[in-house]
Amino acid sequence: MTTFDKREQGFEAKFAHDEELMFKVTARSNKLLGLWAASQLGLSGEAAAGYSAALVTDHLESRTMVEVLDKVSGDLAAKGVAREQVAAKLQECLHQAMQQLEAKE
């Protein structure tokens, strides 16, 4: 195996690791955002867990951050929560999820 092949394998392994990490961060941040949104909606217990789980699992691979933001903002609009507030909370959840996953590694 040549040095180039080893380098290519290293890049491929790093790419796979980074993609897996981003998938986990996204799923965890969606869960955290879902739990926060559920509390804003007055949900608790199984209803809150169900809302949060749905945010994670619905269209898991194709849902973008914008779609998540649209969904949660739409759900919270009747409660007077601004889209900007939801966006700020999403950023906070992303940061928190990254910290949690880095602590596990």
pLDDT reported for residue 20? 87
- Answer whether residue 3 shows pLDDT above 90: no
pLDDT band at 2 (very low <50, low <70, confident <90, very high): confident
The whole model's pTM is what?
0.84
Mean of the per-residue pLDDT values for the chain?
89
Region 65-76: mean pLDDT is 93
Instruction: For residue 81, give the CATH number of its domain.
Output: 1.10.790.20
The alpha helices in 45-104, defined as continuous H runs, are: 45-57, 65-76, 83-104
User: How far apart, in whole angstroms, are the C-alpha atoms of residue 59 and residue 63?
Assistant: 5
Count of the separate structural domains present in the chain: 1
Domain that holds residue 70: 3-104
